[in-house]
Structure 1
Amino acid sequence: MAKLKKSEAFTAEREREIQQVVESVNELAQIMKDLSVLVIDQGTIVDRIDYNIQNVAASVEEGLKQLQKAERTQKKGGMVMCATVLIIMCFIMLVLLIIKEIFL
């Protein structure tokens, strides 16, 4: 009878240990599922970051082109302004020369 009680106690202890192992495995499975979700979410975030980096690179290139175009336009505008001022000054000198000839 003592052996039977000892055997029952041993069996109960084994069942409790097996139940703990099952719970641990279930917890581990849940942790792995959660980890999988995190990896997928972070992969999506990394993909978005990569996409945004590509967009920024394209925008920077386009901005550089626009700046170069603006610089060329500004230089041309300065040259046109200088030429216009020079023509106006020549016209004023011509008018002054004509006035001088008329009144002198």
Structure 2
Amino acid sequence: MLDLQLDEEELQQRHRSKEIKHLVTNINDLAVLFKELSILVVEQGTILDRIDYNIEAAHKDVKQAVVHIENTVKIEKSTRAKSVLVCLLGGIIVCLVLMIFKHT
């Protein structure tokens, strides 16, 4: 009877030992997962920083582009007005020359 009790206790201890080993393995696996997750978080943070920097750079470039476009529009309007004035002056000069030749 004592042997039977000892055998039963030994079986229980072996079972507990297996469960503890299994638990240790699971905890080690979990530790590895946390390390990998930590690495991923750092990498994602770096990527987010790069995205943020690129967005800021793009924003600055767009602002500069708007300024350049506004300046180009002003120059084009000014050039168009000057072209019209030159054409009008040319027309007036041609008319004056024609009037002078007509009367002489």
**Amino acid in the other structure paired with 1:31:** L
Give me the TM-score of the superposition, normalised by structure 2. 0.94
Amino acid at match of 1:18: I
Question: What are the ranges of 5 or more consecutive residues in structure 2 without an aligned counterpart?
Answer: none
Structure 1 portions without partners, runs of 5+: none
Q: Secondary structure at the match of 2:41?
A: helix
Summarize the alignment of residues 1-104 of structure 1 with structure 2, pairs less than 5 Å apart.
1-102=3-104
Calculate the aligned-residue CA RMSD, in Å: 0.8
Percent sequence identity is 32
Q: For 1:3 and 1:29, how far apart are their aligned partners in 2?
A: 39
Q: Give CA deviations for 1:11-36 in whole Å, capped at 9, x if unaligned.
A: 11011010011011011101111111
> Alpha-carbon deviations, 1:23-65, whole Å to 9, x = none?
1101110111111111111111111110011011101100000
The count of corresponding residues between Structure 1 and Structure 2 is: 102
